[in-house]
A and B are shown apart, each in its own frame.
Chain A
């Protein structure tokens, strides 16, 4: 039993989605995360245990990404394998048998269309057991505030790539904090630094997707 669960984690880390997936090369023809998740549930493995294995797999690939041992495509393949498992776990989330760790409302700030980084964070965070509400790109403060009101207790993630949209990010953080002061806000993106995040009043700064997960998990979200 443990072997199947462990293998699910390996498939997530390696991005092995299912048997027909040719990636990665050295796992060609082998069963993937999709088949293993189905088999594990059929054998009576608890969905929590499967989710935990997924989180471990995502954590490992996230750490390798942070060390520049792998790049965005590998991370996206891992996210795809994760999604294959999540499709099997979805009914358990709906019945409440498995609970999401919390909710992240995420978006690229007004004045910026770049969404690759934001999408990566969303996928990795989701793969770590969080529910994600993705507001898209070029998002103004009011849209974030509306989403927070619709999702009480959520954490908010702001992304930017353009150096000059950091001013918009600062305004959005200030608007959120002035209207909904208890909302935790995390920021990230190429031009950001911890110093910039502190100056704009954000609660956290994530230099990469794994950093966002670490912040969220430490935030103790309900």
Chain B
């Protein structure tokens, strides 16, 4: 898919993604809810349809990234210098990114309207609809991230480079507190996403992270078997369920 991007400053780009680009299906939401083999009750399928309709009006997509330099300090295996900041990523992420020559530090969001709606439903005594709305919003946030990831891949390929899987603070033993360092590499309030003192993103349905770029790197289909976190919430997700190349998505708020 050809997405438009605008250079904001230097190597910072805003990528224009529209709701129609997401193409979220009811089945995708069903799978995320857990109905992989079991049949979903028709009542809940109807709720998903309602949530998807609502999503269309409430999606406020913003996405962007900054291309920056990557270096590995000699003798260190617990992180990388990204844009001059040492990001302590633990060995899992470090090993996946170590051959990168550059990094795309990204952030994207679907805005706060869906989460506000979902919370309202839960508060007003409709927890099932609230949960389905929240899950639909999470699927949308991941779909935006997938498009951004693919877009960065296409841009880099046009320059003769390849990309890695994406990694986010909060997953793969990469501390969520590192979000502050990651965000310091981006313009203030980039894409309208801000961080709390505890390094949590607002709007909640936002994703941030790092993608490695270089001639010696590649994007892998499945890397969860490299990670020691056996009980990670994303481990059980299959690529087919999430419609993305890497099953190990790293969302900080979804």
Contacts and interface: CB of A to CB of B under 8 A. Distances in A.
A76 B177 contact: no
A88 interface: no
Interface residues of B, number: 37
A72 interface: yes
B233 interface: yes
A105 B116 CA distance: 25
B126 A71 contact: no
B199 to A, nearest CB: 7
Interface in B115-130: 122, 125-128
B134 A23 contact: no
Given A111-B198, A162-B170, A116 B131 contact: yes
B176 A123 contact: no
A80 B43 CA distance: 15
Contacts of B192: none
B63 to A, nearest CB: 20
Contacts of B199: 111
Contact of A192 (B44, B131, B231): B231
A112 B204 CA distance: 11
B198 A25 contact: no
Nearest to B200: A113
Contacts of B11: none
A105 B126 CA distance: 23
A111 B128 contact: no
Interface string B10-53: 00000000000000000000000111001001111001000000
B204 A113 contact: yes
B173 interface: yes
Nearest to B127: A76
A70 B38 CA distance: 8
A71 B38 CA distance: 9
Nearest to A78: B128
Interface in A66-84: 68-74, 76-77, 79-80, 83
Given A23-B43, A79-B127, A73 B122 contact: no
Interface in A106-144: 110-113, 116, 119, 123, 138
Given A110-B198, A164-B175, A25 B253 contact: no
A190 B173 contact: no
Question: Chain A CB within 10 Å — which of B33, B38, B43 has the most?
Answer: B43
Nearest to B47: A73
Contacts of A110: 198
B253 A113 contact: yes
B240 interface: no
A181 interface: no
B229 A191 contact: yes
A91 interface: no
Given A111-B176, A111-B199, A119-B122, A80 B128 contact: yes
Contacts of A83: 125
A193 interface: yes
Contacts of B47: 73
Contacts of B34: 68, 71-72
Nearest to A163: B229
Contacts of A191: 229, 231-233
A103 B153 CA distance: 52
B169 A22 contact: no
A24 interface: yes
Given A77-B128, A111-B198, A72 B33 contact: yes
Given A25-B41, A77-B128, A113-B253, 14 more contacts: A24-B41, A116-B131, A138-B198, A162-B170, A162-B171, A162-B176, A162-B252, A163-B170, A163-B173, A164-B169, A164-B176, A165-B176, A191-B232, A191-B233
26 contacts: A15-B128, A23-B43, A24-B41, A69-B38, A71-B38, A72-B131, A73-B41, A73-B132, A80-B125, A83-B125, A111-B177, A111-B198, A123-B127, A138-B200, A162-B170, A163-B171, A163-B172, A163-B173, A163-B232, A164-B169, A164-B170, A164-B171, A164-B176, A190-B231, A191-B233, A192-B231
